[in-house]
Structure 1
Amino acid sequence: MSADRLLMRAALRGGGWSALLAVATLADAAAVTILPITLARAIDGVLTGSGTAAVWACAALIAVSATADMLIQLAAGAGAAHATAWLRHSLVRHLLAAGPNLDLRAGDVTSRVVGGAAEAGVAPAAATQAVAALVPPAGALIVLGVVDWRLAATVAVALPAIAALLHVLVRDISATVRRYLDVQGTIAARLAEALTGARTIAAAGTAEREVERILAPLPELHAEGQAMWRVQGSVAARGLLSLTLLQIAVVGAAGMELMAGRISPGELVAAVQYAGLAAGFGPVVTQVLRLGRARAGATRAEEVLARPVRHHGAEAPPPGPGTLEFRGVTAGGLQNVDLTVPGGQAVAVVGRSGAGKSLLAALAGRLTDPDRGEVLLDGVPLPRLSHAALRDAIGYAFARPALFGETVGDAIGFGRAAVPEGRVEQAAVTACADRFIERLPGGYRTRIEDAPMSGGELQRIGLARAFAHPGRLLVLDDATSSLDTATELQISQVLLGPLSDRTRLVIAHRAGTAARADLVVWLDDGRVRACGHHADLWRDPGYRAVFGGGSGDPS
C-alpha cells in the first residue's frame, strides 16, 4: 500500500464530516468568487441610484461565507480526528499482529503512531480544502473573461509561473518533512532505550553521556527544520512578488479599459479583487504544506503497515495429549531441527547462551515462524490453526513478564478468555505467589503501579498467569531464573504433579531443573546434540559444562 492510497483510505473514514467539509468549503469558495462581481453591481447601482438589491446580495454572500467558515472549522477538526484515530488503530493492530519480531525500535514506532499518524490525519481535510481553494482563482479568471477578455489574458500569463511554484513546494516540502520526522523518530527511540535502561545508566554514572547521545541528532533536526522554513519562505516570497506584479498589471489594464469606456467603475473594483483571487494561491499553498506533512507522516506509517504479519488458518487441533513436533526447522541460529516433544511430558531444553533455546520456545507457540520446515501440534501444522485455537492451546511464561490490567488479579487473569476469581487465586497458590500478594495493601485488587515487585515475584505472577489458563502445551522460557532454589523446587514439583496433564517445554539453566524433567533436549550451536534423561547425559563432560564446568547433582 502506497502512502497516497493510505491517505485515501483515511479520507473515507471521515464519513459525514468529510461530506460536510466538502459542501462547506465549496459554498465558501462560491461565495468568495461571486462576491466581487456582486459588489461591482452594487457600486454601479449606487452610482445610478438602483443598487439596493445588489447590496443585500453582498450581505447575503458575506453571511454564507462566515457560516461556511464556521462549519469548515468544525468538520475539518472532526474529520481529522476520525482519520487519525483510524490510522492509529490500524498501526497498533498491525504492530501487535506482526508479533515480537518487528524490526523497529520502540521509540521510533511510538513516534510514527503518535506524531506521524496525527500529521497524516489532516490529509482528508487538507485535500478537500486545497481543491476548494482552486475554485476562486478559476472562477476569477472566468469572470474576468466575461468582463473583458484582455483582463483575463493579463492574469492568465502569470498562472504557469504560480503552478510551477506549487509543484516545487510539494516536491521539496514532502522530502524535507519526511527527513525531519525520521530524525524525530531517532531521538524518540534513543530516549525510550535510555528510559528502559535507566538503572544501568544510573549505576554506570553515564547520564551526561546518554544525554549527549540522545540529543546528538538535534543539529540535523535543526537543519531540516530550517530547510522547511526556507522552502516555505522562498515560495511565499516569490508568490507575494508574483501577486503584487500581477495586481499592478491588472490595475493598469483595467484603468485603460475604464478610460476607453469598455468597463464600468464597479467592474474596475471587481477586476482588482479578481486579480488577487486569481493569483492569490495562499490558501492553496497552506493546504499543500499540510498535505506535504501528511504525506510524509503517511509514508512513515506505511513502512510499518508494510511489515508482514502472520496469517492464521481456521482449524482447531484434534483431541490429543499436546505432542509437539519440529520437522526440519531452520530459523535464525537453529539449523535443521528435528525434534518430538512427547505429549504430557515435561521436557527441559538446555544449552549454552546463544544455542537457540529461546528461539525454539518462540517457535513452539508460533511467536515466530521458521524460515524452513514446520512445527506441528498433535499432528497439525501451527499455521493451519485459528488464532483463537492456537492461543487457547499454548500458554507461555517468560523470564521478564510484562503485567497488563489494572490490578494484580487482572494481571494473573490476563488473556483471551475471562478467568474466574477462584482460578486466579488457585493459580497464584500454585505459582507460590499468594503469600506476597496477600501482603499487598489490597491483595489481588492492588493496582499494579502500587505493587512494586522483585524479579522473582514478577516471575511468579507470570507463572500464575500461565497456570490460570487451560491448554495442552505450556512453554516456560527461562521463567524460573530469578526464583530462589526452594521456590524453584516447588514450581518444579508443580510442573511434575498438578500440571502433568499438559505438555511442558521448559527452557532450563539449572541442573536440578533438568534432572527433574522427563526428557532433556540438549541444544548446541543451533542443533540438537542429544536427547535423553539427565542422568544419562550427565556422563558427557560437554553436557556438564553447560551447567558451569561439571559440578552438579545428576539425580
Structure 2
Amino acid sequence: MNSRPDSATSATGRALSRGVLRQGGVRCAALCAVSTTATAAGLLLPALLGHTLDLLLARAPAARWLGCCAAVVLLLALLDGCAGVLSGTADAHATAWLRRQLTGHVLALGPRATARFGAGDLVARLVGNAAQAGTAPGALAALLGALAGPVGGVVALGLIDPWLAAVFLAGAPVLALLLRAFARDTSACVADYQRVQGRIAGALAEAVGGVRTIRAAAAEERETARILAPLPELSRAGHRMWRVQGRAAARAVTVAPLLNLGVLAVAGLLLARHRLSVGDVLAASRYAVLATGVGALVGQLAALARARAATGRLAEVRADPAPGHGTRRLPPGNGRLELRAVTARRGGRTVLDGVDLTVPGGTTLAVVGRSGAGKSLLAEVAGRLADPDEGEVSLDGVPLRDLARPELRRAVAYAFERPALLGTTVEDAIAFGPTAATPAAVRSAARRAHADDFVRRLPDGYATPVTDAPCSGGESQRLGLARAFAHGGRLLILDDALSSLDTVTEHHITRTLLAPDPGRTRLLIAHRASTAARADRVAWLDAGRVRAVGTHRELWREPEYRAVFGDGEGEVRDEEVRDEAGTESRGR
C-alpha cells in the first residue's frame, strides 16, 4: 500500500525512533541507572554468597555477611519494582507522543490517508502498532541491563581466575551468532504478523461501516468468514515467531549448559589444586549462569524487534508528506474559482483528466455526471481537501497552495453527503470549524438549513449530546449544512449534501441556498435533476473530463446528458422547476 521509496520510509523510521527515545528522556536515563544498579547488585550477590559460605565452613563469624546478602536481595526487589514503574511510564509517554504525531499527520493528509492505507489499517497502526513502538525505550534500557549481566559475569569470572573467563569466551561467539540470527528472523516474522493484523482490522472497519447492509442481506456469517479469512496466515506468522524464538532458546539452552559445565569443570580443577575456595566455586557457578543469560537477551531482543517492526509500519504513514501551505492572504473578491489543467489520480487510475473549469464569483455551479465520473474528487480538489497531481486550482486569482492554512479554511466551507457530527453537543457539532461559531450564528444557520425545529424537539435542544441525538440521514445532512452556513466563507462546496432530504425540505433549502448572494460562490455535486435545474450553470463531467458547461435546459437537449439522471427523471424535475418559477412570478 505504500508507494514511497524504501529509503524515505527508513529515514522516517529512524527519525521516529529517535523521537521516541527523546520522549523517554529522563525516564529512560533513570531506567538505565536502575537497571545498571540492579545488575551491579546482582553481580555483587554471588561474591557475597561465596564469601559467606567460606566463613560458615571455617566456622568464622558470618552474621554481618548474611545481613549484607539479605540487604542485597531486598535491594534487588526494590529496584525491580522501580524498573517496572519507570518502564511503564516511559512506554506510556512514548506511545502518547507517537499517537499525537501520527494522528496529526493523518488528519493533515486528509482523504489521501484513508485512500492509501484504509481506515481500519490506519486505526490498527495508530492503536496497536503505536503501543508496540512505544515500548522501545523500556526495551532498550532493559536490553542494556540484560547485556551488562553477561559482560559483568565474564569480568567476574576473570577476577576469580582468568582460566574461567577464557573457557567461557571460547564458546561466546556461538552465542553471539545465535542472537544475531534470532534478531534478524524475528524482525521479518513480526512485520508479517503486524501486516496481517492490519488487513483484518481493515476488513472489520469496512464491515462495521456497512453493518446495516450486512444484516439486511443476512450475510453475517459470510462477512465474518471474509473478515477472518487472513487468520490462517496470521496463525502461520505467529507460529513462525514462536518457532524462531523456540529455536533460539533451544540452541541457547544447548550451548549455555556446555559453557556452564566447562566453567564448573575448570573451577573444580582449580579447587583441587587449592587455587579456589568452595565459596569461589559457588560464586563462579553463579557468574557462569549470569554470563550465559541468553534467555533475558532473547526476550529483550524480541521486544525490540516487535517495536522496530511497529515503528516501520508507522513510518510508512509518516513518510507520506502532508500538503504544505503558503503565507498569502486572499484579496477582496466574491469567490471566483478556477481549475486549470487539473489531473488527479487514485489507486493508479486517472480520475480527473486535464479539467479546465471556471466558476464566476457569486454564482452557483452544479457538477453532474455518472457514478465514477470524478465528482467527489473534484469537490475535494476545489477546496483543497486533496491536491491534484497536475494542474492548479485558484480562488480569486490566488493558487490554493499559496494560501495560509487558516485563510484557506476560513474561505471555503463544506457540506457532505454523510457529515461527521463532531463535538460534545448538537450546538458544538454545528459550531465546529476553524473558529467556533457564536450561539446566535449557530441558531441562525440551523434555521437556514431547516434544522432548528427538530433540534428544539430534542431532549435538551441544542445542548443535547450528539450521542443522544437520534438523527435520520436527512437530519444529519441538515446539521452538516447548518455547520457550513455557520462559518460563511466565499466558497461553499456541497458534495451531494441534499441527497437524503425529502422533496419539500430539499426545495426549501435549495431556495435558501441558491438565493442571489454576490459575495459567495457555490459548487454543488448534484445527483438530482431538480438541483441541477436550479443552478446558474451546470458542468457535465464524463470519465474525468468536462464534457460541456451550460444551463440545465441547454444540456437537456443531449440524450446522454438526460441519461445521467435516468429515464424521465430530469424531464419531470425540469417541468417542476419551471412550474415553480411561474407560480412565484405570478405571486409577485
TM-score category of the 2 structures, normalised to the smaller one:
over 0.9
Quote the Cα distance in structure 1 between the aligned partners of 2:140 and 2:478.
Answer: 54
Q: Counterparts in 2 of 1:63-102, with a 5 A limit?
A: 63-102=74-113
Equivalent position to 2:526, from 472, 494, 508: 508
CA shift, 1:200, in A, is 0.9
Q: Counterparts in 2 of 1:376-525, with a 5 A limit?
A: 376-497=394-515, 499-525=517-543
Equivalent position to 2:562, from 531, 544, 551: 544
How many correspondences in the alignment? 555
Paired letter, 1:234: R
Quote the Cα distance in structure 2 between the aligned partners of 1:415 and 1:117.
Answer: 28
For residues 32-53 of structure 1, the C-alpha deviation after alignment (integer angstroms, 9 at most, x for no partner) is 1122223333333442736566
Contact 2:335–2:519 under 8 Å retained in 1: no
**Structure 2 residue 125 is matched with structure 1 residue 112:** yes
Paired letter, 2:153: A
Quote the Cα distance in structure 1 between the aligned partners of 2:87 and 2:557.
Answer: 74
Paired letter, 2:207: A
Equivalent position to 2:25, from 15, 19, 23: 15
Q: Which residue of 2 aligns with 1:183?
A: 196
For residues 267-302 of structure 1, the C-alpha deviation after alignment (integer angstroms, 9 at most, x for no partner) is 111111111111122221211111111112112111
Q: Which residue of 2 aligns with 1:129?
A: 142
Contact 2:147–2:297 under 8 Å retained in 1: yes
SS in structure 2 opposite 1:334?
strand
SS in structure 1 opposite 2:547?
strand
Equivalent position to 2:273, from 260, 276, 285: 260
For residues 166-210 of structure 1, the C-alpha deviation after alignment (integer angstroms, 9 at most, x for no partner) is 112111111111111212221121111111111111111211111
Contact 2:334–2:518 under 8 Å retained in 1: no
Paired letter, 2:396: D
SS in structure 2 opposite 1:417?
coil
Paired letter, 2:155: I
CA shift, 1:60, in A, is 4.0
Q: Which residue of 2 aligns with 1:228?
A: 241
Contact 2:207–2:223 under 8 Å retained in 1: yes
Q: Which residue of 2 aligns with 1:356?
A: 374
For residues 467-513 of structure 1, the C-alpha deviation after alignment (integer angstroms, 9 at most, x for no partner) is 01021100011111121222222112112327553111111222322
Q: Which residue of 1 aligns with 2:36?
A: 26
Contact 2:362–2:517 under 8 Å retained in 1: no
Quote the Cα distance in structure 2 between the aligned partners of 1:222 and 1:236.
Answer: 21
Quote the Cα distance in structure 2 between the aligned partners of 1:74 and 1:134.
Answer: 21
Paired letter, 2:325: H
For residues 55-84 of structure 1, the C-alpha deviation after alignment (integer angstroms, 9 at most, x for no partner) is 454344334322221210110010010111
Quote the Cα distance in structure 2 between the aligned partners of 1:307 and 1:123.
Answer: 23
CA shift, 1:152, in A, is 1.0
For residues 358-408 of structure 1, the C-alpha deviation after alignment (integer angstroms, 9 at most, x for no partner) is 222111100111111100011111011111111111000111111111222
Contact 1:140–1:278 under 8 Å retained in 2: yes
What TM-score do the two structures reach when normalised by structure 1?
A: 0.96
Q: Which residue of 2 aligns with 1:40?
A: 50
CA shift, 1:163, in A, is 1.1
Higher mean alpha-carbon deviation, 20-29 vs 447-456, is at 447-456
Paired letter, 2:79: A
Quote the Cα distance in structure 2 between the aligned partners of 1:91 and 1:418.
Answer: 25
Quote the Cα distance in structure 2 between the aligned partners of 1:193 and 1:523.
Answer: 29
CA shift, 1:516, in A, is 2.1
SS in structure 2 opposite 1:14?
helix
Contact 1:349–1:505 under 8 Å retained in 2: yes
Higher mean alpha-carbon deviation, 225-234 vs 539-548, is at 539-548
Residues 500 and 407 of structure 1, relative CA distance in 2, 3 Å threshold:
farther
For residues 200-239 of structure 1, the C-alpha deviation after alignment (integer angstroms, 9 at most, x for no partner) is 1111121111111111122222222222222222222222
CA shift, 1:122, in A, is 0.9
SS in structure 2 opposite 1:480?
coil
Contact 1:27–1:64 under 8 Å retained in 2: no
**Structure 2 residue 377 is matched with structure 1 residue 367:** no
CA shift, 1:453, in A, is 1.8
SS in structure 2 opposite 1:319?
coil
Quote the Cα distance in structure 2 between the aligned partners of 1:493 and 1:321.
Answer: 20
Contact 2:361–2:518 under 8 Å retained in 1: no
Quote the Cα distance in structure 1 between the aligned partners of 2:530 and 2:63.
Answer: 101
Structure 1 unmatched runs, 5+: none
CA shift, 1:104, in A, is 1.2
Quote the Cα distance in structure 2 between the aligned partners of 1:396 and 1:504.
Answer: 10
SS in structure 2 opposite 1:302?
helix
Higher mean alpha-carbon deviation, 105-114 vs 345-354, is at 345-354
Paired letter, 2:288: A
CA shift, 1:140, in A, is 1.7
**Structure 2 residue 352 is matched with structure 1 residue 334:** yes
Paired letter, 2:381: L
For residues 6-53 of structure 1, the C-alpha deviation after alignment (integer angstroms, 9 at most, x for no partner) is 223212111321121011001011111122223333333442736566
Paired letter, 1:542: E
Quote the Cα distance in structure 2 between the aligned partners of 1:355 and 1:219.
Answer: 39
Contact 1:8–1:124 under 8 Å retained in 2: no
Q: Which residue of 1 aligns with 2:309?
A: 296
Quote the Cα distance in structure 2 between the aligned partners of 1:139 and 1:516.
Answer: 83
CA shift, 1:242, in A, is 2.1
Higher mean alpha-carbon deviation, 236-245 vs 90-99, is at 236-245
SS in structure 2 opposite 1:158?
helix
Structure 2 unmatched runs, 5+: 1-8, 346-350, 579-588
SS in structure 1 opposite 2:24?
coil
CA shift, 1:535, in A, is 3.0
Contact 1:346–1:495 under 8 Å retained in 2: no
Contact 1:472–1:501 under 8 Å retained in 2: yes
CA shift, 1:157, in A, is 1.4
Paired letter, 2:90: G
For residues 389-434 of structure 1, the C-alpha deviation after alignment (integer angstroms, 9 at most, x for no partner) is 1111100011111111122221111112111111111111100111
Equivalent position to 2:214, from 198, 201, 225: 201
Contact 1:87–1:117 under 8 Å retained in 2: yes
Quote the Cα distance in structure 1 between the aligned partners of 2:558 and 2:248.
Answer: 76
Paired letter, 1:176: C
For residues 75-114 of structure 1, the C-alpha deviation after alignment (integer angstroms, 9 at most, x for no partner) is 0010010111111111211111111122112211111111
Contact 1:144–1:152 under 8 Å retained in 2: yes
Q: Which residue of 2 aligns with 1:307?
A: 320
CA shift, 1:130, in A, is 0.6
CA shift, 1:255, in A, is 1.0
State the Cα RMSD in Å: 1.8
Paired letter, 2:439: E
What TM-score do the two structures reach when normalised by structure 2?
A: 0.90
CA shift, 1:4, in A, is 4.4
Contact 1:28–1:69 under 8 Å retained in 2: yes
Paired letter, 2:339: F
Q: Counterparts in 2 of 1:265-276, with a 5 A limit?
A: 265-276=278-289
